[in-house]
Amino acid sequence: MNSAFRSGIAAMLGLIILWQIVVTLTGVPRFILPSPYLVLISFIENRGLIFEHTLVTLTEVILGLFIGIALGMITALQFEISPTAKFFLKPVLIFSQAIPVFALAPVLTLWLGYGMISKVTMAVLIIYFPVTSAFHDGLTRTPPGLIDLAKVMQAKHLRLLFLIKLPAAVPNLLSGIRLAAVYAPIGAVIGEWVGSSQGLGYLMLLANGRVKTDLMFAALFTLGFMSMSLYGLITVWIKLSFKRFETH
């Protein structure tokens, strides 16, 4: 068990203890802030329902991650291959991030319907820019010595890109993927809030409308645990990838 995992567990336990102290001292009504015990009981009683909605949100997030990362990588490479593409596409990319995601969600729901496609699209949009930006920064910050050496050896543009720049940009790409793992659930849940009949975001709205605050918190913590687990798995994968790279 590494130190980061231990510190995360300790922080979570500290938050739960502080939460219980606040509830005990203030006597706040349970429909406003239920105790950790009531949230745990609600989670146990509704575990089947929560699991069902978690699978939907997790599917949306994973699909959004794969599509968003692939599109981000392709776009960043296209920027390096074609200055014309960079000139026309980069302003569009920046403009897309200037629009709040809450403003885009109703439009996407109107165009793509209330199914999974609109939620996956929201997740793709919210992670597309971080992956593209991080990977493109890595491609443009290749050590000059490597580029000069490749040019001395008369390397063509595509060989320079795929054999020199791309391997040097891998750390930046992995950082972008790590950020994407955090942002993807946000896009999926926002899409579920705007219009859906499945997913943890929908379950939270449903519980809130029925004043089942304990169930809402149970769904919220499930979403947080899912996001942290996804981030942790990707972080472990990145570390293992670097170790294998170093051994070779």
Instruction: Report yes or no on 112 lying in a domain.
Output: yes
Chain-centroid distance, C-alpha 52: 20
What are the φ and ψ backbone dihedral angles of 222, each rounded to 5 degrees? -65, -40
In a domain, 136, yes or no: yes
Query: Alpha carbon 142 to chain centroid distance?
Result: 26
10 in a domain, yes or no? no
What does residue 29 show for φ and ψ, rounded to 5 degrees? -60, 150
Amino acid letter, 42: S
What pTM value is reported for the model? Answer: 0.87
The DSSP secondary-structure symbol of 31 reads T
Tell me the CATH number at 166.
1.10.3720.10
Query: What is the pLDDT of the chain when averaged over all its residues?
Result: 87
Helix axes 101-112, 116-140, angle to 10 degrees: 130
Instruction: Give the lowest-confidence range in 67-81, 93-107, 135-149, 193-207.
Output: 93-107
**Whether the Cβ atoms of residue 50 and residue 222 lie closer than 8 Å to each other:** yes
DSSP type of residue 163? I
104 is a domain residue:
yes
37 in a structural domain: no
Do 39 and 99 contact (CB within 8 A), yes or no? no
What tens digit of pLDDT does each residue of 169-188 get? 988 998 899 889 989 999 89
* 131 vs 236, more confident: 131
Those residues with Cβ within 8 angstroms of residue 218's Cβ, 6 or more apart along the chain or in another chain: 39, 40, 42, 43, 46, 50
Q: Is position 212 within any domain?
A: yes
Answer yes or no: is 42 within a domain: no
Which of 32-36, 99-103, 196-200 is predicted least confidently?
Answer: 99-103
Q: By the 8 A CB rule, do 134 and 79 touch?
A: no
Q: Give the DSSP letter of residue 27.
A: -
DSSP 61-101: HHHHHHHHHHHHHHHHHHHHH-HHHHHHHHHHHHHHHHS-H
**Residue 23 to residue 38: CA distance in whole angstroms:** 11
Do 130 and 70 meet the contact criterion of CB atoms below 8 Å apart? no
- The total number of structural domains in the chain stands at 1
Dump pLDDT digits (tens) for 80-99.
Answer: 888 888 888 888 888 877 78
**114-135 confidence digits (pLDDT tens):** 889 999 999 998 999 889 999 9
Burial 133-149 (b: 16+ CB within 10 A, else e): bbbbebbeebeeeeeee
Distance, CA of 166 to CA of 144 (rounded, Å): 14
Question: How many whole angstroms separate alpha carbon 97 and alpha carbon 122?
Answer: 12
Range of the domain at 135: 47-247
Residue 28 maps to a domain: no
Q: Does 243 score more than 80 pLDDT?
A: no
